[in-house]
Structure formats: C-alpha cells, structure tokens
Amino acid sequence: MNKNEKIIEVKNLQKSFDGITVLKGVDFSVYKGQVLSIIGSSGSGKSTILRCINQLETIDEGEITICNDKLYYYDENGNAKSADEKERKKINLNCGLVFQNFNLFPHFSVLKNVSDPQVQVLKLTRKEADENAFTLLEKVGLLDKKDNFPCQLSGGQKQRVSIARALALKPSLLCFDEPTSALDPELTFEILNIIKMLSKEDRTMIVVTHEMQFAKEISDEVIFLDSGMILERGKSSEIFNNPENERTKKFLMKFD
C-alpha cells in the first residue's frame, strides 16, 4: 500500500444555499489508508462537504480531485469546470457514502439491498453479487437477516446493512455522515465498532461525527470546522489533547 497516494484533494471549496454561505474555502487532502474525522457544531458545514464529494450537491467554487480524476477544476484560463457525465459516473464509483438515515430500499430484502447495486452499477451477475453480499453481511454480523426487510430491523442493523452496501461497490474512499446520529447509545456502540474494524483494514475514510472519543481513537487526522471554515487541523492526538484554537478548545470542553 502506497501511503503517499493521495485519494482525495479538496481546494478552496465554497458552497452557498439561498445566499447563505455554508462552506468558505475549505482545503484538505486524504491519503490512502488514512482516516480523517471532521468535527464541529451542527450547521458548521460538515455534511455539506461529504455531499459535495459524493455529487449530491454541486459546488460554487473550488476543486475536488478523487483518485487523480478531476471532479471540479479550473482550466488554463482560470475558468471553473466540472467533469462530464461519463467522467462523473466513473469518479462516483470511487466514493461510498453511509448516510445518517440509512437510505435502504424498503421493498428490497437485506440481501437485495446489498447485491442489487453490484448488478446495476458493477454489472456483476446476480450469483456473483449475492456471493459478495453474503461475505459482507457476515462481516457486519447480519448474514442471518439476509431475507428480512428493513422494517424488520433495528436502527443499528439498518446501518450495518447500509455499511455493507457501501462496501459492496468497493470504493476507494468511504464516507460516513454522522452514522450514529439516529441511534440510541447501545446501537451506537455496535456501529462504531464496525467502523473501527474497517479502519484497521487500511481503508481510506472520511468520518463526520459528534462522537468525540470515537473520533479520537479512529482518526489519523482531525479537522475542526466552524461556520464553514477549517479553524484547526492536525493529528488526532494534537487536536484532542492540545488544541491551539480557542474555539476548538471551547467546543471540545463540552465533551469532557
């Protein structure tokens, strides 16, 4: 594994909604096998970053490069450009997103929720897709629920299925958007353990979370976002044990 391989680079990311600026020139990179956590108060723009990376929102200004492919960039004349539709689809295959609210298909079984994207997107046979799904469901401890439907699952089980579904497409970058925000403490613990397991497999991940102890344990680097700007970034130990910015200190004091 080449730890110097840059999986994603974001430069001067800017985004507004209805005239309100949500992201104000965000810059960061994530290298292969690295786990980056983004922390900050609600409304600071954390989830918007992930939505821009995963093409769920368009950006106003800036550059996003994923696995050396330019999603948004400036040409030689300084004009803002975005990749064409074919290139965007290719880039999107390199990103997986686990949502807060699971986003499972309610009319699909657990197995079909995990296998169907492989058939539709990766063009695998149903047999190949099902075999991969069996392996992934076993990995997240839900093989025995393969024939159940989402309505028959707990919140934690639904989130485990959504993690298996994201893994099924073999993304180079796995993003988690507050993966435990809809769960009670007991179910939160099981999801955090699965993400910890994935982090030990040298997967490249961006995790937006309000679970500070978890972020401290899992992260190589941490970004503290406030009002759409990165106020502080650094190694996990530096941010949590010795933050320099006063706003970061005040934010983290709430979790002591």
pLDDT digits (tens, 9 = 90+) for 229-239: 999 999 999 99
Place of tokens 């680079």: 9
Domain ranges of the chain: 104-170
Residue 241 has pLDDT above 60, yes or no: yes
Q: Torsions phi, psi of 85, nearest 5?
A: -60, -40
Across the range 195-222, mean pLDDT stands at 92
**What mean pLDDT value characterizes the chain?**
93
Across the range 35-49, mean pLDDT stands at 95
Rounded CA gap, 119 and 242, in Å?
Answer: 48
pLDDT digits (tens, 9 = 90+) for 61-109: 999 999 999 999 998 888 889 999 999 999 999 999 998 888 899 999 9
pLDDT digits (tens, 9 = 90+) for 6-33: 999 999 999 999 999 999 999 999 999 9
Residue 219 has a pLDDT of 94
* pTM of the predicted structure, to 2 decimals: 0.93
**What percent of the chain lies above the pLDDT cut of 90?**
83
Across the range 118-124, mean pLDDT stands at 95
pLDDT digits (tens, 9 = 90+) for 155-180: 999 999 999 999 999 999 999 999 88
Measure CA 251 to chain center. Answer: 22
Confidence of residue 1 (pLDDT cuts 50, 70, 90): very low
Q: How far is CA 201 from CA 126, 187, 196, 204, in A?
A: 27, 22, 9, 9
Rounded CA gap, 46 and 222, in Å?
Answer: 12
What three-state secondary structure class fits 181? coil
Rounded CA gap, 232 and 249, in Å?
Answer: 10
User: Helices marked H in the chain — which ranges?
Assistant: 46-53, 85-92, 110-121, 126-139, 155-168, 185-199, 212-218, 236-241, 246-253
Confidence of residue 186 (pLDDT cuts 50, 70, 90): confident
Q: Is 17 exposed, middle or buried (0-12, 13-18, 19+ CB in 10 A)?
A: exposed
